[in-house]
Structure 1
Amino acid sequence: MQPLQLVLLWHMHQPDYRNYETGEFMLPWVYLHAIKDYTDMVYHLESHPSMKAVVNFVPVLLDQLEDYAAQFASGQLRDPLLRLLGTPDLEQISIGDRVRIFDSCFRSNHTTMMQPYPAYKRLHDMHERLRERSEAELVYLSGQYLSDLLVWYHLAWTGESVRRNNETVVRLMTQGARFSHADRTQLLNLIGELIQGLIPRYRKLAESGQIELSTTPHYHPLAPLLIDFSSARDSMPGVNLPTEAAYPGGKSRVASQLASAIATHSRRFGARPCGVWPAEGAVSAPFLEILAEQDCQWSASGEVVLANSLRESYPAEPLPERGRYLYRAYRVAGKSNNVICFFRDERLSDMIGFEYSKWFGRDAAEHLVHSLEDIGHNALPRESPVVSVILDGENAWEYYPYNGYYFLNDLYEILENHPVIRTTTYRDYIASAEAEATVLPVLAAGSWVYGTFSTWIGDKEKNQAWDLLCAAKHSYDLVMQSGRLTEDEKAKAERQLASCESSDWFWWLGDYNPPHVVESFDKLFRANLANLYCLLKLPVPVSVREPISQGVGGTPESGGAMRRAS
């Protein structure tokens, strides 16, 4: 077996759920993933100090984590669900707040986050029995019921590392019911402590050299599409594109979001990021040139993007077996050749994202390590494969028993003690003697989902969303040039525009997603656009008020928050 270097990259991201006009958080996913996934992921790294990894934080997620930390420090909570958790008398809350609790507190994977807790399942069953008779019957559920439901929902969203080590959580789970306002206050305080400690914990690991922290353009834009809609045709030649030929000023917008990401990352973590994981692993040659201009050393994407690029680079040659080209670093010919590119092993990444949740943790960990050993055994003499396993670092664990605790613990333990497989980071690999990069003549634009941009552009609803964004950007450019806004007003409008440029809004539009999710993201996207027009002191177009997409009851795998590579 040839020596093998493994880079595990965990990508942490949530879109901006804030209403900039009111300051309210419209959805709770940032703080829920914070107390469950970001907390558990840093715990496992702290518990295995010889384990190296790359952790990618999107700046807009960190913005929101800092926002929550400030809310807890001030005592002024702007997240409605957190406010309700801390409300003294739940008998007196409004009908709207009761509906919010019912709509929010059963949203999780019931198999792993409800079924193991009989007291929580009983609350769900009681709700469903009443709702089957009539929605109006839900009014008879008491304040005590609401208190118990709020506590159990947040307990279910608490990381396994916290459950095993925190006395408050152990006590509440043992108590099981009849939670008082004092109980809820203790849980609320714990949530605040967990969130406030997150960024310092990751920073400490980065300062020790155990992990590398990377970044993404600030608000997670689909950079190649912002630069050039026609880049979608590299992998989808016949795709329908938006009415506009291009997003106005897209290249400068990507450069601006990247510069903002580097600046805020440096402030938070005390060091400039070495590399960039692009939103959705979406790359193109013009995007790499922007990375090169801002002195980024590495980037990464999906395996199918590499395969498409090799086919375009060498059209007369058949594509070799994947082990002959995948496990190495590349430089793309041209102006960006000082950016080292890596491409993830999509089979191994998708096994963690979608398959190992159905296995026993130890079996899954051993299978992954055996798969890595097979790569080493199949390597040619004097080759030193570098294997990239890159995936969402938050959404997968909801489908694992115990939030992936046993899988991650056993995997890290095996890798720490493996005689041939060495975990590393991209920064350390680039600095090592083994680092070599193969020249890639042509980079075909694409993403880590199917190697295409079909998740974000091409169908009627996604293209309509792009048209609305393009129209808003034209208005933005005219107003910014007019001199009608103060510097502070310009800054607020620019921040709102950046949020509108996020890839997440386009991800969820489409008839293959659940209606309630499509509705919430459609509404959020249009609310962001409406607020942009208000900040520009312009009337909101009627088209922005009208829903874009409905969804038709689709049940995508893992709730639709993740997609397989193919």
Structure 2
Amino acid sequence: MQPARALHVIFCWHMHQPDYRGADGRYILPWTYLHACKDYADMVAHLEENPLARAVFNFVPTLIEQLEDYAEQFRSGQFRDALLAALAADDLKTLTPAARHSLLHQCFRLDQEHMLNPFPDYRRLYDLYQHIQIDVQEMADYLSVQYLADLVMWYHLAWTGETVRRGSPFIQAMLAKGRGFTREDRQQLLRLLGDLIHNLIPRYRRLAEAGRIELSTTPYDHPIGPLLMDFGAARESLPDCPLPQSKAYPGGAARARWHVDRALAAHQQRFGLAAGGQWPAEGGVSEAFVQVLGEAGIGWTATGEGVLAHSLRTAADDEPARERWQYLYRAYRLPSGGPALFFRDDALSDAIGFDYQKWFGHDAVGDFVHRLEEIWRHTEGQGTPVVSIILDGENAWEYYPYNGYYFLSELYKVLSNHPHIHLCTFSDYLAHHDAQPEALPRLVAGSWVYGNFSTWIGDSAKNRAWDLLCAAKRAVDQRLTRFDPAQQELILRQLGVCEGSDWFWWFGDYNPAAAVRDFDDLYRANLRKLYGLIGMPAPHTLDTPISQGGAPAAAAGTMRRTTP
């Protein structure tokens, strides 16, 4: 039963992976299916196991598209992912030297503390790899087929979720076996992973149909909508932000609407339910973009706390400083109407994303609940206070013991039974709790990272990437009508991939070099594919890397704190 005076708490878990497919449809990177087997499976299991818990799961359509593609690969046995192809291989002796080297490179890409060190047999493989790494290109050819079999098995075992392990006697047996894995072991693991991915989206759909979770979406390929519409939006929160040489992204407003509308249609098709809200890519909002969401019938959207602080300061320069609890824990709406606006509690969200991984699960839950109780006490005068906790649903757990199992299971249990806390969803909050959004006079454009767009524009490498995209878009606009509707669809779909936010996220010297190189190569390959689809040679500017990277980053750069 809902308490008489409740603090409404909304968890919104953002599920997102960019399109990792190369020009030939083969997967360059395996992160989509690996996160599916570990994180997307665990996240839904926690809600299945706790009938009183409620949460929002936001799925980017590009991610679902890839999950469907992987499900088809498992059904057909024709794998377009080199890592899965190695797991499925009848005879690992047939692997080429390049494939062997690729396995060695890929199969230690994880957090060693929580995904390698707990398994002595896996650690033994790593220690041997370290011993030969000085001349790995040559010495890798001397590693036995059994080493490769054990390596590819262990990598996939490490990338299974904790709930998956606890529910599978086979995986428990493989963890106990430790070494000497056979072809039959690999085939059985392959079948288990295939079933897991095939059933994943239906599991979320069942919970949504039962009213236990809300499913929402993001503009189709995860573009930064406000920047598509106007590069100048970056200067609303950073007046001196350097902009690309291109004055604007050609036809950006129409492209933003394309991503929004396509996402809504895809969501309805995949889940059988209309999406009540959209979490914009990286929480990127502007007044113009929120208007686009409203015109599409979106009921709610959300962004970062920094955006609200900027907006309130701009709307009332002479307003005295206020405590966060006086303005953060409520929904807003612009004077022009449109969707309700929710603002993320950055401190609580970042605590889950970056801090609690170092705590004992029980202590972390206790701290989190205490902080919510403090908010409940401070908001006594508010009728329906709401705390929005929004973060990636996949990247944090790699750095938690047991994939965050003990933290998440206890967190849901404690909050579901708390006398003053009510777990709900954005749509439920608006529909059932007499919550009238407060008027927000003005919305300053920004994102959930630092309250601005500096993660995606302003840096010389990021601006160069935008200029390359603008040139490709102008070429598309000049030639699109020459093609029949089917080819036009392929062109616009590939353009959407190139417009995704992830490419711009990774450019910059503050990110790890290996990740920057991967995304730099894939971005330029996607642009080359786009030129090929319109029958034009790709410009030579696409032959030169955009960024080098080189600095270590928290969570390997996959997540960023919302304050510098």
With normalisation by structure 1, the TM-score equals 0.98
User: Cα deviation per residue 1:499-547 (whole Å; 9 max; x = unaligned)?
Assistant: 0000000000110111111001000000000000000000110001211
Call closer, same or farther: CA 1:382–1:58 in 2, change over 3 Å.
closer
Match of 1:558 in 2: 555
Equivalent of residue 111 in structure 2, options 96, 106, 109 = 109
Quote the offset at 1:459 in angstroms: 0.9
Asked whether 1:347 is paired with 2:350, we answer no
User: Cα deviation per residue 1:462-483 (whole Å; 9 max; x = unaligned)?
Assistant: 00000000000000001113x2
With normalisation by structure 2, the TM-score equals 0.98
- Superposition pairs of residues 165-204 of structure 1, within 5 angstroms: 165-204=167-206
C-alpha distance in structure 2 between counterparts of 1:228 and 1:389, whole Å: 28
Asked if 2 retains the 8 angstrom alpha-carbon contact of 1:297 and 1:340, the reply is: yes
Equivalent of residue 148 in structure 2, options 143, 146, 154 = 146
Asked if 1 retains the 8 angstrom alpha-carbon contact of 2:228 and 2:256, the reply is: yes
Asked if 2 retains the 8 angstrom alpha-carbon contact of 1:518 and 1:549, the reply is: yes
- Which AA in structure 2 matches 1:461? A
- Which AA in structure 1 matches 2:17? Q
C-alpha distance in structure 1 between counterparts of 2:150 and 2:318, whole Å: 66
Quote the offset at 1:76 in angstroms: 1.1
Asked whether 1:490 is paired with 2:493, we answer no
Q: Percent identity?
A: 52
C-alpha distance in structure 2 between counterparts of 1:347 and 1:280, whole Å: 17
What secondary structure sits across from 2:9 in the alignment? strand
Match of 2:399 in 1: 399
C-alpha distance in structure 1 between counterparts of 2:91 and 2:64, whole Å: 33
Q: Structure 1: which 5+ runs fail to align?
A: none
C-alpha distance in structure 2 between counterparts of 1:471 and 1:375, whole Å: 49
C-alpha distance in structure 2 between counterparts of 1:139 and 1:319, whole Å: 65
Quote the offset at 1:284 in angstroms: 0.3
Quote the offset at 1:381 in angstroms: 2.8
C-alpha distance in structure 2 between counterparts of 1:561 and 1:284, whole Å: 24
- Which AA in structure 1 matches 2:546? I
Quote the offset at 1:2 in angstroms: 4.6
What secondary structure sits across from 2:202 in the alignment? helix
C-alpha distance in structure 2 between counterparts of 1:121 and 1:236, whole Å: 46
C-alpha distance in structure 1 between counterparts of 2:457 and 2:67, whole Å: 30
Call closer, same or farther: CA 1:209–1:177 in 2, change over 3 Å.
same
C-alpha distance in structure 2 between counterparts of 1:380 and 1:98, whole Å: 62
- Which AA in structure 2 matches 1:398? E
- Which AA in structure 1 matches 2:562? A
Asked if 1 retains the 8 angstrom alpha-carbon contact of 2:100 and 2:140, the reply is: no
Asked if 2 retains the 8 angstrom alpha-carbon contact of 1:284 and 1:445, the reply is: yes
Asked whether 1:7 is paired with 2:10, we answer yes
C-alpha distance in structure 1 between counterparts of 2:26 and 2:545, whole Å: 22
User: Cα deviation per residue 1:98-144 (whole Å; 9 max; x = unaligned)?
Assistant: 01101100000000000000000000000110113664222211110
What secondary structure sits across from 2:18 in the alignment? coil
- Which AA in structure 2 matches 1:464? R
What secondary structure sits across from 2:338 in the alignment? coil
User: Cα deviation per residue 1:290-340 (whole Å; 9 max; x = unaligned)?
Assistant: 001111010000000000000111111123111100000000122xx1310
Quote the offset at 1:366 in angstroms: 1.5
- Superposition pairs of residues 70-149 of structure 1, within 5 angstroms: 70-132=72-134, 135-149=137-151
C-alpha distance in structure 1 between counterparts of 2:242 and 2:136, whole Å: 45
What secondary structure sits across from 1:338 in the alignment? strand
Asked if 2 retains the 8 angstrom alpha-carbon contact of 1:2 and 1:382, the reply is: no
- Which AA in structure 2 matches 1:69? A
Asked if 1 retains the 8 angstrom alpha-carbon contact of 2:384 and 2:435, the reply is: no
Aligned length: 560
Call closer, same or farther: CA 1:241–1:44 in 2, change over 3 Å.
same
Asked if 2 retains the 8 angstrom alpha-carbon contact of 1:307 and 1:319, the reply is: no
Call closer, same or farther: CA 1:460–1:301 in 2, change over 3 Å.
same
C-alpha distance in structure 2 between counterparts of 1:366 and 1:528, whole Å: 46
Call closer, same or farther: CA 1:461–1:377 in 2, change over 3 Å.
same
Asked if 2 retains the 8 angstrom alpha-carbon contact of 1:305 and 1:445, the reply is: yes
Equivalent of residue 268 in structure 1, options 248, 267, 270 = 270
Pick which of 241-250 and 429-438 moved more: 429-438
Pick which of 312-321 and 251-260 moved more: 312-321
- Which AA in structure 2 matches 1:555? P
Pick which of 419-428 and 135-144 moved more: 135-144
Quote the offset at 1:250 in angstroms: 0.5
Asked if 1 retains the 8 angstrom alpha-carbon contact of 2:354 and 2:396, the reply is: yes
Quote the offset at 1:486 in angstroms: 1.9
Call closer, same or farther: CA 1:240–1:255 in 2, change over 3 Å.
same
Match of 1:56 in 2: 58
Asked if 1 retains the 8 angstrom alpha-carbon contact of 2:57 and 2:215, the reply is: yes
User: Cα deviation per residue 1:132-161 (whole Å; 9 max; x = unaligned)?
Assistant: 366422221111000000000000000000
Asked if 2 retains the 8 angstrom alpha-carbon contact of 1:2 and 1:381, the reply is: no
Asked if 2 retains the 8 angstrom alpha-carbon contact of 1:7 and 1:387, the reply is: yes
- Superposition pairs of residues 297-312 of structure 1, within 5 angstroms: 297-312=299-314
Quote the offset at 1:383 in angstroms: 3.1
What secondary structure sits across from 1:369 in the alignment? helix
- Which AA in structure 2 matches 1:344? R
User: Cα deviation per residue 1:436-467 (whole Å; 9 max; x = unaligned)?
Assistant: 11111110000000001000000110000000
C-alpha distance in structure 1 between counterparts of 2:496 and 2:355, whole Å: 35
C-alpha distance in structure 2 between counterparts of 1:267 and 1:2, whole Å: 38
* RMSD over equivalenced CA pairs, Å: 1.0
Call closer, same or farther: CA 1:134–1:33 in 2, change over 3 Å.
closer
C-alpha distance in structure 2 between counterparts of 1:271 and 1:172, whole Å: 39
Asked if 1 retains the 8 angstrom alpha-carbon contact of 2:13 and 2:393, the reply is: yes
- Which AA in structure 2 matches 1:532? L
What secondary structure sits across from 1:24 in the alignment? coil
Match of 1:293 in 2: 295
Match of 2:499 in 1: 501
What secondary structure sits across from 1:331 in the alignment? strand
C-alpha distance in structure 2 between counterparts of 1:316 and 1:332, whole Å: 20
C-alpha distance in structure 1 between counterparts of 2:546 and 2:351, whole Å: 34
- Which AA in structure 2 matches 1:407? F
- Which AA in structure 1 matches 2:395? N
- Superposition pairs of residues 14-25 of structure 1, within 5 angstroms: 14-19=17-22, 21-25=23-27
Match of 1:30 in 2: 32
Quote the offset at 1:71 in angstroms: 1.1
C-alpha distance in structure 2 between counterparts of 1:376 and 1:421, whole Å: 8
